[in-house]
Amino acid sequence: MVQSQGKTSDPEAVAAAAAKIEDEIAYLSKRHRVSPAIVREIIRRSGASERAAIEREIQKGKARR
């Protein structure tokens, strides 16, 4: 009986992807002068991970203040 393992990920690749995401969060938080937690929350709520979409959401939030 053959079992499919689904996605098998290299731990180094997962760590590299996580580091890239954290670098992106740090960049956006410094650029827009908001905390990294806010950027993470925007990513979580919108489901988008591309920079342009996140920046639009940050600008919308700043417009409300």
Tens-digit pLDDT profile for residues 1-13: 455 555 667 888 8
pLDDT, residue 6, reads: 53
Tens-digit pLDDT profile for residues 16-57: 888 999 999 999 999 999 999 999 999 999 888 889 999 999
pLDDT, residue 14, reads: 87
Q: What are phi and psi of 33, to 5 degrees?
A: 55, 50
Give the chain as a 3 state SS string: CCCCCCCCCCHHHHHHHHHHHHHHHHHHHHHHCCCHHHHHHHHHHHCCCCHHHHHHHHHHHHHHC
Tens-digit pLDDT profile for residues 38-49: 999 999 998 888
pLDDT, residue 44, reads: 93
